[in-house]
Structure 1
Amino acid sequence: MPVQFPLKLVGRHMLAPTVGHYQFLRDDGQPLDFQPGQFIQVHFHYADGTETKRSYSLATIHDHAIGAGEAVDIAVSFVPGGAATALFEGLDIGGHVQASGPYGRFCLMPGDHNARYLLIATGTGVTPYRSMLPLLAKAMAERGVEVVLLQGARTPGELLYSEDFYNFAEQHANFRYVPCLSRELPENSHPDVRHGYVQQHLAEFAPNPATDIAYLCGNPDMVDATFEALKEAGLPNPQVRREKYVSSK
């Protein structure tokens, strides 16, 4: 059994009509040391008493070990009738959940020597990239790496953390933020906004096995389609790192 620890809710707001941003403190006096890209699991019980859990990538913009008393962020998708949705919607400020972790290897690797990262996401799959921003800034400064983030959503209001990514792009010339909107474009949209799905616009950036490492996170159909496109472009499996997100009730 993984070691569980209490998380206390200290802040929340809506990121999108069906996605909430939740901020927690680990409430046992211990640090929550994680690598950007990792996730935690929240443990709870169904109404019949059966134990269950849900996984959430940490969205904390992270450039150091998270010490005791420092907050961590997650993004929670609300699913109609979902048990986890009921848990989070009913959680008041100061309330607790039980968690374990961190887990996962969807992280930037210290030994990477690539010239470019292609970061591709839909929905809450973009949260790991938010936590990676300080490490990406370091990679750009130290070895001149370029970064392209393609974020898929239906409408502008569903682009999670877009303000963070636009601000980061303004501060870092080697970072390009490309929102891909399948249903609705904003008025007077940024020149890098695209209409359609992320996998439809991947070819524009000419994936290159000699220079690129790609990260795929989000909807399984998107991950599978984009993985196939990257394979056709010649990227070998070790240069394509994947994590699928499935909304669970």
Structure 2
Amino acid sequence: MADKHRIQFEPVGIEMEVGEEEKILDAAFRQGIHLMHGCREGQCSACKSYLLEGDIQMERYSTFACNDAEVAEGYVLLCKSHAYSDCTIELLNYDEDELLGGIPIRTVGTRVAAIERVTRDIVSLRLEPAEQFDFRPGQYVDITIPGTDEHRSFSMATTPGTPSGEIEFLIKKYPGGRFSGLLDDGLAVGDELSMTGPYGSSTLKDGHVLPVVCVAGGAGMAPILSILRHLKETGSTRPVRFYYGARTAADLFYLEAIKELGADLTGFEFIACLSESAQDSEGLQVEEGNVTEIVERREPELHRSEVYLCGPPPMVDAALTLLEASNVPKDQVFYDKFTSPATDGA
């Protein structure tokens, strides 16, 4: 049996135990400690921390998330780190309210309730959990690929208050995708799937009052819909603007649902940002161009907003560059950056 060690997190003064065989981030989740995280695959740097004392070794990770100079200095990615001694780690990013107050991560069985194509390459998958499954708007789960130990991560589009109890996911299809390929041939209503979660730090913060600016593309529509639905359910009066990036009007979907949600939200605007063509977009508020360019043009006061991002990694990267240039404080920016399925066989 592998040795176990103690981890001390500073400056919060939290201690936990970790086995040498498990990653530090996973050990934290197991013990109800919700550290900041994003992709959980060593790609995004959300869990980057600083090793003050001890012996840590990392599994394979992206040098874009933690470069060689940072590693030499003592920085580590907790999602890829194994401890081989007692360690003291300085958390660089943390949410005090979330640390010990997050929703416990667990695995539940589900039944496929519906599979519906909503665009040429995005499919709605609705799952019915076997038991109550709590999560916060903006979070995601891992769904296990049937017959394997592999999983894929997908954000919830619904809220825990959805009357049917079903949880909806919006999944982009990729050629040869291990999971998305099953949506055409391999999964059917009534089939069982296992999911684990909830994960993610890109959650709507109750009690905040700043205007909300949402920026999404592709299947990144899902967590934004969850956030909008929660704002409606709670009677929020925060002004909301939603920028959605797509190629053409044919790639837009759920427009009626968004319109209905917006009718109950303060100062709501939905702007479809079409990068290739605005043809056949009559009746919509449409801007031509990349979504980040349009946000920059229309939002001169971005630094006075909370910004929620979800979409393809290049879109998220471009948006983060814009937000930094716009002097948006980091604690007003929320996103979970997923690895591109096109490169990892999703």
Asked if Structure 1 and Structure 2 have the same fold, meaning a TM-score greater than 0.5 normalized by the shorter chain, the answer is yes
Contact 1:25 1:71 (8 Å CA) reproduced: yes
Q: Equivalent pairs: percent with the same residue?
A: 25
Larger RCO: Structure 1 or Structure 2 (Cα < 8 Å, ≥ 6 residues apart)?
1
Structure 2 portions without partners, runs of 5+: 1-29, 31-104
Question: Match for 1:200: what amino acid?
Answer: E
Tell me by how many angstroms 1:184 deviates: 2.2
Residue 100 of structure 1 aligns with which residue? 196
Residue 87 of structure 1 aligns with which residue? 182
Matched, 1:36 2:107: no
Contact 1:37 1:107 (8 Å CA) reproduced: yes
1:16 to 119, 135, 144: 119
Mapped partners of 1:188, 1:221: distance in 2: 25
SS at match of 1:238: helix
Mapped partners of 1:117, 1:6: distance in 2: 34
In the superposition, the TM-score normalised over structure 2's length comes to: 0.63
Tell me by how many angstroms 1:203 deviates: 2.1
Residue 21 of structure 2 aligns with which residue? none
Residue 336 of structure 2 aligns with which residue? 243
Tell me by how many angstroms 1:207 deviates: 4.1
Trace 1:132-211 onto structure 2 (pairs within 5 A): 132-137=227-232, 141-142=235-236, 144-172=237-265, 174-187=267-280, 189-190=282-283, 192-208=285-301, 211=304
SS at match of 2:168: strand
SS at match of 1:214: strand
Mapped partners of 1:195, 1:166: distance in 2: 20
Mapped partners of 2:115, 2:283: distance in 1: 28
Mapped partners of 2:172, 2:139: distance in 1: 17
Give a deviation string over 1:61-96, Cα, whole Å, max 9, x none.
x263x69x7211111111111111233331111111
Q: Does the C-alpha gap of structure 1 residues 12 and 135 become closer, same or farther in structure 2, counting only changes over 3 Å? A: same
Say which is worse superposed, 6-15 or 202-211, in terms of deviation.
Answer: 202-211
Contact 1:126 1:160 (8 Å CA) reproduced: no
Structure 1 portions without partners, runs of 5+: none
Contact 1:208 1:234 (8 Å CA) reproduced: no
Say which is worse superposed, 181-190 or 75-84, in terms of deviation.
Answer: 181-190
Mapped partners of 2:135, 2:330: distance in 1: 25
Residue 208 of structure 2 aligns with which residue? 112
Please report the RMSD computed on the Cα atoms of aligned residues, expressed in angstroms.
Answer: 2.3
Tell me by how many angstroms 1:113 deviates: 2.5
SS at match of 2:118: strand
Tell me by how many angstroms 1:209 deviates: 5.6
Mapped partners of 1:209, 1:154: distance in 2: 24
Tell me by how many angstroms 1:7 deviates: 1.2
Give a deviation string over 1:16-39, Cα, whole Å, max 9, x none.
111110111113xx2011111111
Mapped partners of 2:232, 2:297: distance in 1: 24
Poorly superposed stretches of 4+, deviation over 3 Å? 170-173
Give a deviation string over 1:111-153, Cα, whole Å, max 9, x none.
3231x111000111111111122332367x55x3211100001
Mapped partners of 1:201, 1:100: distance in 2: 36
Contact 2:272 2:284 (8 Å CA) reproduced: no
Contact 2:231 2:265 (8 Å CA) reproduced: no
1:54 to 119, 131, 152: 152
Q: Does the C-alpha gap of structure 1 residues 188 and 197 become closer, same or farther in structure 2, counting only changes over 3 Å? A: closer
In the superposition, the TM-score normalised over structure 1's length comes to: 0.86
Question: Match for 2:205: what amino acid?
Answer: M
Contact 1:152 1:180 (8 Å CA) reproduced: yes
Tell me by how many angstroms 1:227 deviates: 1.3
Q: Does the C-alpha gap of structure 1 residues 185 and 236 become closer, same or farther in structure 2, counting only changes over 3 Å? A: same
Q: Which is greater in Rg?
A: 2
Mapped partners of 2:308, 2:322: distance in 1: 13
Q: Does the C-alpha gap of structure 1 residues 195 and 94 become closer, same or farther in structure 2, counting only changes over 3 Å? A: same
Mapped partners of 1:152, 1:205: distance in 2: 14
